[in-house]
Amino acid sequence: MYTALIILHILVSIFLVIVVLLQAGKGASIGASFGGSSSQTLFGSAGPATFLSKITAGCAIVFMITSLYLTYTASTRSTSSIMKNIPATKSEEAQPAAQPQQQPTQPEAAPQDTSGTAPK
């Protein structure tokens, strides 16, 4: 069902783009672009405005409904993990940390005489 809805959503969005691009601007009509001498006879006497506007409105409604439904289902989908049935292992951090080795202390050396005379 979810896959079918995604496919419908993609098809409606592509069709909506095509229908919007087929609509004529303010000064042009779609019949003139196909080389017809009368621009009002391609889609009937009312012209392409009402026909394409109805198709656009229908596609827009279907597009909005599928968008809202897909958003709702994506937000309420439960996520599962393949790792949920594997027991947790004890971490190494639970063991007490080893004490750092202390360096042996060396006896301090006697201060040296810097007066320049040798001791007697």
**Residue ranges of domains in the chain:** 46-77
pTM greater than 0.85 (yes/no): no
- Greatest mean pLDDT among 54-58, 75-79, 98-102 lies in 54-58
Query: Higher-confidence residue: 49 or 82?
Result: 82
Q: What does the pLDDT read at residue 6?
A: 93
pLDDT level of residue 85 (50, 70, 90 thresholds): confident
Strands (E), the chain: none
Indicate the angle between helix axes 48-76 and 2-22, nearest 10 degrees. 150
Helix (H, G, I), strand (E, B) or coil at 31: helix
Q: How confident is the model at residue 8 (pLDDT cuts 50, 70, 90)?
A: very high
Residues 21-45 have a mean pLDDT of: 60
- In terms of phi and psi (left: phi > 0; alpha: psi -120 to 50; beta: otherwise), the region of 79 is beta
Residue 92 has pLDDT above 80, yes or no: no
Q: Are 5 and 66 in contact (CB under 8 A)?
A: yes
